[in-house]
Structure 1
């Protein structure tokens, strides 16, 4: 198994150093680098894109929101895990729909940090109670009023595509879905790409939100 390179962006030195020590203790991590703001993180990523970033939101010079948007735009393979004290669903939905792959509170248990990194690197998405509740509230408050412009696909999903989407929402990897459906991993990746194109989703959280909206998951 290849080992990961993880970057950490946080302006609070004690927290950042503590998180760096924690992440270095994970057996699957080979290298950890630190930045005190979003601008420094961008420079690190330009030099060498990591496997994943643990990103704070409230930072000077450039905050984590802007840094996340810039990194996702230029380096779409980099996974971003938000670490923040903000836990209102508007913050969570905005960041996840902007491309972040996971959202954790800063008081998360070390095991959850490890699990989130494993999940975003292997499956592109980490779904915890914070994210699920944010998606649910977003759908409940806006589902009836919105015409769902972000999900105005040209045609509806096929039964197979709905099946694949349901498994993606259950956090199965492309290989795991392929094994269950007796299809190749490449075929599942093609299904995933077609689903995203049809519903107008930019990332996995967009697919999960759509699945909530059509009642595929509850």
Structure 2
């Protein structure tokens, strides 16, 4: 079972998200928090696999909580859940090292998809958020292709293969199947390439892979 902690200051929203998640046979909600600080406390007690954080909460908001999770509980995957789609929230969430970013107005099945992706070592962005990211990559706000290609030059050939598949949205298990590697070896390669590239998480690595032009060939299986 995938253990999930849900943090949102609105009781009705927590109830709705919980109802969606518990309908999945492989997901359980182990705790609920009303703010980011309580989420951190409950996470220490319940050790969830994935935390779903609302961005706007009292005491400690989602962005600050995500940064704190990365510092004190890096093994816990974090996804952001919000009604807001302004640029600063998206950029801020990605910079905090989250594994996913979802809009509350999205398809309920996105919640289950995002939780499973985060638990499997992959990333998930709502279609609206993915569109924003792609447009801004194309617009050059997240770096030019030549710069990205220069950055990935520090990687080994195998790490470049893994990075391309991370960029294509594959989980560690799927990457292992594609490259005929055990999942533990994939995790080692992912950790190494994140360190070499100086990025905080798989989302940032995926953006770099896209900008460097690695994703199209990986997605097609070439």
Q: Shorter-normalised TM-score: what interval?
A: 0.7 to 0.9
Q: Could you say which residue in structure 1 is the equivalent of 2:96? A: 98
Q: Could you say which residue in structure 2 is the equivalent of 1:84? A: 82
Q: Could you say which residue in structure 1 is the equivalent of 2:24? A: 26
Give the direction of change, closer, same or farther, for the CA distance of 1:169–1:19 in structure 2 (3 Å limit): same
- For the 8 Å contact 1:9–1:35, the answer to whether it is kept is yes
Q: How many angstroms apart in 2 are the aligned matches of 1:144 and 1:22? A: 37
Q: Could you say which residue in structure 1 is the equivalent of 2:38? A: 40
SS class of match (2:207): helix
Q: Could you say which residue in structure 1 is the equivalent of 2:184? A: 186
Residue 113 of structure 1 deviates from its aligned partner by: 0.8
The farther-off stretch of 28-37 and 39-48 is 28-37
- For the 8 Å contact 2:152–2:160, the answer to whether it is kept is no
Residue 176 of structure 1 deviates from its aligned partner by: 2.5
Q: How many angstroms apart in 2 are the aligned matches of 1:45 and 1:112? A: 23
The farther-off stretch of 35-44 and 19-28 is 19-28
Q: Could you say which residue in structure 1 is the equivalent of 2:141? A: 142
For this pair of structures, how many residues does the alignment match? Answer: 215
List structure 1 segments (4+ residues) > 6 angstroms apart after TM superposition.
Answer: none
Q: Could you say which residue in structure 2 is the equivalent of 1:202? A: 200
SS class of match (2:124): coil
Q: How many angstroms apart in 1 are the aligned matches of 2:46 and 2:16? A: 23
Q: Which runs of 5+ in 2 are unaligned?
A: 217-222
Q: Could you say which residue in structure 2 is the equivalent of 1:14? A: 12
Q: How many angstroms apart in 1 are the aligned matches of 2:16 and 2:202? A: 30
The farther-off stretch of 100-109 and 87-96 is 87-96
1:74 aligned onto 2:75: no
Give the direction of change, closer, same or farther, for the CA distance of 1:216–1:191 in structure 2 (3 Å limit): same
Give the direction of change, closer, same or farther, for the CA distance of 1:200–1:29 in structure 2 (3 Å limit): same
Q: Which runs of 5+ in 1 are unaligned?
A: none
The farther-off stretch of 208-217 and 9-18 is 208-217
- For the 8 Å contact 2:173–2:183, the answer to whether it is kept is yes
Q: Could you say which residue in structure 2 is the equivalent of 1:122? A: 120
Query: RMSD value over aligned CA atoms?
Result: 2.6
Residue 116 of structure 1 deviates from its aligned partner by: 1.0
- For the 8 Å contact 1:123–1:171, the answer to whether it is kept is no
